[in-house]
A and B are shown apart, each in its own frame.
Chain A
Amino acid sequence: MSSFSVTEPSNRSKWFAGTLVILYALITMIPLAWIMLTGFKSPSDAISYPPKVVFEPTLEGYVNLFTTRTRQTQEYLDANPPETWYEEIVREYDMVIAGPSKFGERFLNSVIIGFGSTFLSIFLGTLAAYAFSRFKIPLADDLLFFILSTRMMPPIAVAIPIFLMYRQLGLSDTHLGMILLYTAVNISLAVWLLKGFIDEIPREYEEAALIDGYTRFQAFYKVVLPQAATGIASTAIFCLIFAWNEYAFAVLLTSGTAQTAPPFIPTIIGVGGLDWPAVAAGATIFLLPVMIFTILLRKHLLRGITFGAVRK
């Protein structure tokens, strides 16, 4: 039936469309592929002209990313032969590894702040979304708009008073401060998305449970939560990606202990200017999880980016 339908495109136009889309996809992937390749180049290969597509891969960028190095005298180098493969890479430049770099710490900060704020916004967001979905709340529409509009605020505009407030409260450059801040930004998305998911669960299920003698709380976590699990999971990934990618607040409010990876990666400096392979290695490690999550999320992507307005 459908193959005879007038709305089914002809094979030729399908082939044409497919070719163009694949061409676009390949072009759009070039920058990403290039940055991943650069991570495996030596510094001289990375800045060679013409740009090298074929090169001898090395883990130098990754070693430089995770370590700090110092130059040593020839006697010292001769007296202490390299013990590990990464020590060997560094030795080519007459250097020794002095210790771990800050990248590991910054990456861990991103993980802690990302997961902490995601957990908190999902926890609070699910409760609020359930209430908005099931109870009559006075001025519900205004509250929902208020919640959404907080998401739209320009970060730099809110950053001024938050900076002052955090300085007063001693929350500047702390994990807790950043978690609270990202939670506040993410909760709007969480409430809007989760409300959509919970709206789709028929009330009859809970009502049956309530008549069976469950309390509201029991009905909520025994009936509603399991049904909303997929929605909660995809909302969580959206919140996580936001907190992971956030830069403006991070660069203004953190400088040391709680600094996340995005403000840190561009500052990786090597000998004689930016160490591009190390920067590329950092970017690769940092971006890869998001790419994997995006693929997991592909069915719910549209819903997430439009605040739940477009379902499919």
Chain B
Amino acid sequence: MTDTPAARAAQATPPNVARKIKGLSDRAIAWIFVGPTIFLLLAINIFPLIWTIRLSFTNFKANRINREPEWVGLRNYERILTDSDIWLNMQATAHFLFWTIFFQVLIGFTLAYLINKKFKGNDLWTTIIVLPMMLSPAVVGNFWKFLYQPQIGLFNYIVAFFTGKDPSSFEMLGSVDLAPWSIVIVDTWMWTPFVMLICLAGLRSIPDYIYEAAEVDRASKLRQFFTITIPMVLPFLMLAVLFRGIENFKMFDLVVQLTGGGPGSTTELTSINLKREAFEKWRTGYASAYAIILFVTVFGLASIYVKALNKVKER
């Protein structure tokens, strides 16, 4: 057997060590260590998931336990996937997803690029910029509601100050046109630092010698940016985009506190819609099918995300 570090690492425990271990066998310990975690996840994640799949084929209503649920086959799925109102909720989600990702990538990358110039005190300012994303989205949504108040809100005041409009002439949360943008603004405020941090990691992973070589070849700064910087940061950017995509696809807390899905259903993202079906209308079977549709979508995106993770890890 070759004794390279790689070969050693590939193996669980070298036989010369394994033979001398006292106490329980490694295999028993492995199961004792992993067992509780797997058990907990099975009980609180997988069992409920299987239950949801089962419920999704019935017309069960959780507020009427005594009524025996009927088996309805694929009818719930059929109804959801042909419902043009839910399709509109999906489009509202798409609007939210697209623009939050667009602005976060644009601002996040620019910030990372600037911070990477390593000016004095960049660590301190990075930490300050990062603060919003660690806060509770529900509480953030709640206090942005205060900032968005027409007349008394700071946001309206500042916009009015710079545009000369009357601060009570527009309602960010009350108007059908502005509400979808109000949630985009808050999410961008909150999560741009996330994209920025990941882009920064990407920029810092580019070794100096590549730029030095380009300099020797007399490549212009602009050319260096497009042939070195962008391609090298791209895998990191993909990671950030996928993660924000997954998170915002299932967005609930921030938006429910800000707009509650209104006005009308202009900001009723899928999770908020699902919550209404499940916990206000109590159409449990129907909502379960809805949940499975969202879940499969997130799961699919998550598998791509893990692939992207591993790609970055190899760097």
Contact = CB atoms under 8 A, between A and B. Distances in A.
Contacts of B14: 207
Majority secondary structure, A binding face: helix
Contacts of B250: 154-157
Interface stretch (A70-78, A97-105, A227-235, A244-252): A244-252
Nearest to B168: A49
Given A127-B36, A137-B30, A28 B21 contact: no
Interface in A11-54: 13-15, 17-18, 20-22, 24-25, 28-32, 34-35, 38, 46-51
Given A51-B152, A266-B138, A286-B136, A216 B51 contact: no
Interface in B1-43: 8-9, 11-14, 17, 20-24, 26-27, 29-30, 32-34, 36-38, 40-41, 43
Given A18-B120, A262-B138, A298-B130, A31 B147 contact: yes
Interface of B: 8-9, 11-14, 17, 20-24, 26-27, 29-30, 32-34, 36-38, 40-41, 43-49, 51-52, 55, 62, 107, 111, 114-115, 117-123, 125-132, 134-139, 142-144, 146-147, 149, 151-154, 157, 167, 189, 194, 197-198, 200-201, 204, 208, 211-212, 215, 236, 239, 243, 246, 249-250, 252-253, 257, 271, 274-275, 278-279, 284, 287-288, 291-292, 294-295, 298-299, 301-303, 305-306, 309-310, 312-313
A135 B30 contact: yes
B294 A21 contact: no
A146 B41 contact: yes
Interface stretch (A55-63, A85-93, A183-191): A183-191
A140 B24 CA distance: 21
B313 A14 contact: no
Contact of B201 (A7, A130, A211, A302): A302
A241 B119 CA distance: 30
B139 A283 contact: yes
B310 to A, nearest CB: 8
B17 A210 contact: yes
A154 B271 contact: yes
A162 interface: yes
B291 A131 contact: no
